[in-house]
Amino acid sequence: MTKRKALVTGGAGFIGSHLTKLLSENKYDVVVYDDLSNGSGVKNIPKNVKIIKESILNIKKFRNACRNVDVVFHLAVKPLTMSFDKPEEVIEVNDYGTYLVAKICTELRCKMIHVSSSEAYGTALSLPMKEEHPFFPHTIYAGSKAASELYVRGFQKSEGLKMVIVRPFNSYGEYMRSDTYSAAIPKFFNRISRNQSPIIHGTGRQTRDFTYVEDTCQGIILADQNKNAIGDTFNIGQGKEISVKQIAKIMSEKYQEITKKELKLSLQYDNPRKGDVMRHLADISHARKILGYKPTISLDEGIERYIKWRLSGDS
């Protein structure tokens, strides 16, 4: 049986590396296309997978990389936190980069799985959030993700691009970046592991739908494998709402349980983060019905896996 040939932009990043690994296990012939500006997941990529170190902004190199490819999974992106100090870079990669990816996929007749973000929705106007929920971005990053979807949709409508859009909700797990631009969970671990109180921005009552990265990637792969998904958009989440301060407490308790250390930590509160959304909860019924998507890793198990991985020294 001929393997399906896939190219993963941003395949050396957090979600991208997990996706690359799962694609390889699902008998895809995978190539990673990544400029390695982040590369938090390089060690997670199987040894037999080719890595092309290049930017999606180099259209000539990207076109050559996409020849004879069946599907492009597009995850190359600059993160939300970077949009506060380097907004031009975020717009260039997230918007113009996506335009170039859609252009080449259209030209070479590759299918495109565009990995967007729930951030494009902004704060929930109704719960749970369906795919029809309007865009109300709170940051340059969120705006770039909303705009990028419109470029992809435009290529579909005008040029016949075969595409699927997926909107992950707050993925977490091993190989998340833990640097300046990291998300809440790595930052909480960094503090707790040093016996320092987790810092909560705002009240901590803001909620998220945290989804373990392997569940996210299963949803992305299903979006390629189901022919009925073409031209459609899918929320990929856990379908459960939890507050940020609850996450911090769970991480502190789980860390102490795993390490057998007793820490006397209270939550430390700081100013609200710019552009923070207040509530997020995915309605995943559409993905369940069309894709057969079903998240399997509970938050408790996912947090335990993440903490054990950080403690292992592989991070």
Tell me the domains of the chain and their CATH numbers.
4-169+213-239+277-297 (3.40.50.720)
Enumerate the active-site residues. Answer: 141
Q: How far apart are CA 183 and CA 32, in angstroms?
A: 23
Q: CA-CA distance, 169 to 52, in Å (whole number)?
A: 28
E strands, the chain, in order:
4-9, 28-34, 50-53, 71-74, 111-115, 163-168, 171-172, 199-201, 207-208, 211-212, 233-236, 242-243, 268-270
pLDDT at site 182: 78
Judging by beta carbons within 10 Å of its beta carbon (0-12, 13-18, 19+), is residue 180 exposed, middle or buried? exposed
Task: Give the per-residue pLDDT at 193.
Answer: 97
Angle at 300 between CA 298 and CA 301, to 5 degrees: 65
71-74 and 50-53 strand pairing:
unpaired
- Give the residue among 281, 308, 303, 290 at the shortest CA–CA distance from 118: 281
Q: What is the CA radius of gyration of the chain?
A: 19
Q: E strands of 86-240, at which residues?
A: 111-115, 163-168, 171-172, 199-201, 207-208, 211-212, 233-236
| pLDDT recorded at residue 271 | 96
Q: For position 1, what pLDDT does the model report?
A: 65
Q: Which residues of the chain have pLDDT under 70?
A: 1, 181, 315
pLDDT in tens, 282-315: 999 999 999 999 999 999 999 999 999 999 987 6
Q: Name the residue type at position 231.
A: G
What is the SS3 assignment for 17?
Answer: helix
Task: Give the span between the Cα atoms of 12 and 267, in whole angstroms.
Answer: 33
Q: What is the pLDDT of residue 33?
A: 99
